[in-house]
């Protein structure tokens, strides 16, 4: 592990301490190896060499994405994404209601704010290589890969395509405790101007035939998501209710190319049922967003 990863690992360790206050204080020591492994092994997973032994890969393999030809659904999805992009940009603007949670260095800061009943996380970072603008966009809009963050496997796939820059995705999370969660979301990429691109995700009420969770989830940020309804042909384990359902109110990135650097802002607000989840699982998932942002700073500044 080089010094950049050590710095990043120490940063995330401090972040978790902030997020859990005294509740986490007695658990910091055993979590040190976990935090380091998040950065050491945060890679695109193209083979099983780095898979944890206790994470099962025995699920249905992703099929080719279904191309949507329903004009009514396409129209509603476009409206949803238009609002999601607008809301993401609004929350990406720094305001007094954001509180600084952690200062990593002169390039990366983590903030939180309360919005209605939600916590919204905001991470700002910079990459000092303006030639990597398109590479950063492509990295952040790669939604159908596998990433292994130490003890957490994140597996994504595209389940429906409306156009190459507007899709429906499924993400699965499996951690060392065999906690399995998932979400469906509409994801889009939009070039706002020559030097600004927005990537946005938002969940809607997508019927995946989960027998144990038929709740109507209301998006508290993207209102048009609440009038969008469709269904997907989900895998057997989802239909049987073996995975915990998660819901993305808003998530994504604003990528701006400046004269000397690229400014990347991450916004993330997720809701999940943690009643049957391991302790700190929501913090674990949130921390992975920070890992991605710190890695943008590390990788694209030194190439």
What was the pLDDT predicted at 75?
A: 97
What was the pLDDT predicted at 175?
A: 82
What was the pLDDT predicted at 28?
A: 37
What is residue 140's three-state secondary structure? helix
What was the pLDDT predicted at 88?
A: 99
Burial of 165 (0-12, 13-18, 19+ CB in 10 A): middle
What was the pLDDT predicted at 58?
A: 42
Domain with 87 in it:
3-302
What was the pLDDT predicted at 41?
A: 45
What was the pLDDT predicted at 153?
A: 86
Residue 38 neighbours by CB distance under 10 Å: 25
What was the pLDDT predicted at 37?
A: 45
Number of domains in the chain: 1
pLDDT by residue for the chain (303 residues), tens only, comes to: 555 555 555 555 555 555 555 344 334 334 444 444 444 444 554 443 333 333 334 445 545 568 999 999 999 999 999 999 999 999 999 999 999 998 888 899 999 999 999 999 999 999 999 999 999 999 999 999 898 877 778 899 999 999 999 999 999 988 877 788 999 999 999 999 999 999 999 999 899 999 888 788 899 999 999 999 999 999 999 999 999 899 999 999 999 999 999 999 999 999 987 666 666 677 777 777 887 888 888 889 865
What was the pLDDT predicted at 49?
A: 33
**String of DSSP letters for 165-219:** TEEEEEEEEEETT--EEEEEEEEEEEEEETTEEEEEEE--EEE---TT-------
User: What CATH code is carried by the domain that includes residue 216?
Assistant: 3.30.530.20
For tokens 């400046």, the residue is 258
What was the pLDDT predicted at 82?
A: 98
């Amino acid at each position: 592990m080089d010094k950049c990863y050590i710095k990043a690992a120490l940063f995330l360790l401090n972040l978790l301490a902030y997020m859990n206050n005294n509740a986490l204080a007695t658990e910091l020591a055993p979590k040190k190896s976990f935090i380091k492994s998040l950065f050491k092994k945060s890679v695109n997973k193209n083979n099983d060499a780095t898979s944890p032994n206790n994470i099962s890969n025995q699920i249905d393999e992703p099929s080719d994405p279904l191309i949507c030809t329903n004009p009514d659904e396409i129209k509603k999805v476009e409206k949803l994404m238009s609002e999601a992009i607008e809301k993401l940009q609004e929350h990406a603007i720094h305001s007094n209601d954001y509180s600084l949670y952690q200062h990593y260095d002169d390039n990366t800061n983590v903030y939180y704010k309360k919005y209605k009943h939600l916590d919204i996380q905001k991470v700002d970072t910079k990459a000092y290589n303006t030639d990597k603008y398109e590479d950063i966009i492509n990295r952040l809009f790669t939604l159908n890969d596998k990433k292994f963050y130490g003890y957490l496997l994140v597996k994504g796939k595209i389940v429906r395509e409306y156009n190459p820059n507007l899709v429906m995705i499924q993400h699965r999370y499996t951690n060392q405790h065999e906690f399995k969660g998932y979400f469906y979301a509409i994801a889009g990429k939009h070039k706002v101007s020559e030097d600004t691109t927005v990537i946005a995700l938002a969940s809607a009420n997508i019927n995946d035939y989960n027998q144990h969770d038929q709740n109507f989830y209301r998006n508290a940020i993207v209102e048009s998501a609440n009038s969008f309804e469709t269904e997907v042909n989900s895998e057997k384990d989802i239909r049987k209710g073996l995975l915990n359902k998660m819901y993305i109110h808003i998530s994504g990135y604003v990528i701006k190319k400046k004269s000397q650097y690229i400014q990347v802002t991450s916004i993330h607000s997720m809701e999940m049922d943690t009643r049957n989840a391991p302790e700190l699982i929501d913090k674990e998932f949130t921390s992975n967003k920070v890992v991605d942002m710190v890695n943008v700073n590390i990788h694209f500044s030194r190439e």
